[in-house]
Amino acid sequence: MPRRTLVVDPEFGRRLKGSREQAGLSLRRLGQKIHCSHGYLWDLEAGTKRPSVAVAVLLDNALCAGGELSALVREVSADTDVRPVGRVSDAVQVPVGLEFAPDWRYGIDVAVKLWQGDMQRRDLLHGVGFSATVFLPPAMRWLMSPLDERPTGRGERLVGQPDVETVRQITSTYRTLDNQFGGGHVRNSVVRFLNGDATDLLKGRYDPTTGRALLSAVAEATQLAGWASYDAGMDGLAQRYMIQALRLAGGAGDRALGAEILAAMSHQAAYKRAAAEAVDLARAAGRAASEVGVEAIQAESAVLEAQGHAAGGEEAACAAALDRAEKIFDKADRSSDPQWIGYFDEAYLAAKFGHCFVTLGRGDIAQRFATRSLDMDGKNYARGRQFNLALLAAAHAQVGDLEEASRVGIQAVDAAEGLRSSRARDYLADLADRLAKHAGLPAVRDFTDRARPVLSAS
């Protein structure tokens, strides 16, 4: 793992003090709001101590600073790019792909650098770590941005609507393969497409209308690269793709897609047990979806918020969010949904309910939803079916029905064969851990023997 350190803009202390005084808060009162000492805050304002990214985000929220403070704090690893930030003359090191660029043109440069680095410096980028707090400043900037940019290209190649449609069709094909066979099968191909054809198009000649459509299409492909990386267990790299997908969606003015990307960020944060960040990102996605009136994403955001609450052990908050998700879903008009949200149906919703209840230790309730989640297209969504089988087996294990847990678990093992998905193996490993104490039972031994070669596969 590369060594990581903090880079804090020298303006941070002055900006913090100005924001605090504008809010009319004393150091002591601000400390109470974010649960730290007023002496520590005094040191931050004086510049004798440096805040973490998480503390900067807390200060932003407490002072309603609109992301200004967290934008001045960066986590840096070995793979860094040095660029001037804002009006500050000192150079600030920004890890490749984590920057939410100030304008669409620079955003393309950052995205291209990430794609190139992924293809050319594989070992360096693939070792980066994941931190859910890193999602929060880009999410806040995206929410606060007007998204009224007019992307225009001045290159030699003329780009038109057929080119944009080609990007969308290629992305759709890879998305289908991802759902059928796992992120490990498609990740490299998607990145290669971004680094080649997509980059050529972005460097071409186009007017604002075509430019917005192009950036939206490339944002979809970039999100898919992030999702496939996440599924393949490359969480830090996936995070960088998600951030750049969000920036490209911003350049396109595509708020619906941006909401979906924020939802994907929440999904990953919950999976990594970053409960508070998962909730914040889901709420951001819900707010964005509400602004553009896409009810399917609003429902998805609510159920992802519930998943974040479940990860934090907040049962009442989880139940409230699940209730909200179900009500929004039941009344949703799906006729005008973007095609990329087609996966969100009753089976997907039931699976999310089941995951929440398993996380809360309520396998008795989870069984019902996990069973309903299997009423799905198991061919086109083979990975999802494997997840749902593992979920049902875990629910049986929680209530002590070990033979049924083992029987369904073997089905989950069978479904995992042919998948290149780190998450599929993780769900099986979790089930194996749940059953390990009962290894003397014949049914459990059968599951363990069947799962061992799948779990040991790289």
CA atoms within 13 A on the CB side of 233: 11
Q: Distance between CA atoms of 66 and 50, rounded to whole angstroms?
A: 20
Of the candidates 95, 116, 135, which is a domain's last residue?
A: 95
The number of folded domains in the chain is 2
* Host domain of residue 39: 5-95
Helix (H) or strand (E) holding 6: strand 5-8
Inside any domain, residue 125: no
- Do the domain assignments include residue 356? yes
Q: What is the pLDDT of residue 90?
A: 39
Token output for 429: 């490993």
Q: What pTM was computed for the model?
A: 0.81
Of 51, 79, 95, the last residue of a domain is: 95
In a domain, 153, yes or no: no
Residue 326 belongs to some domain of the structure: no
In a domain, 12, yes or no: yes
448 conformational bin, left if phi > 0, alpha if psi -120 to 50, beta if neither: alpha
Q: Provide the β-strand partners of residue 93.
A: 82
The CATH number linked to 65 is 1.10.260.40
Q: Which residues contact 444 (CB under 8 A, 6 or more apart)?
A: 402, 406, 435, 438
51 domain residue, yes or no: yes
The answer to whether 435 and 447 have CB atoms below 8 angstroms apart is: yes
Q: Rounded to whole angstroms, what are the CA distances from 65 to 57, 60, 72, 147, 198?
A: 9, 5, 12, 19, 36
Q: In order along the chain (458 residues), what is the average pLDDT of each group of 10 residues?
A: 64 87 86 78 83 81 78 62 42 70 92 92 67 91 86 95 98 97 97 97 97 98 98 94 97 96 97 94 95 94 97 96 96 88 94 97 97 94 97 97 97 96 96 94 96 85
CATH code of residue 362: 1.25.40
Question: Given 58, 74, 95, which residue is the final one in a domain?
Answer: 95
Classify residue 289: in a domain, yes or no.
Answer: no
**Helix, strand, or coil here: 254?**
coil
| Contacting residues for 153 by C-beta, under 8 A, at least 6 apart | 159, 202, 203, 204, 205, 206, 211
Q: Does 28 map to a domain?
A: yes
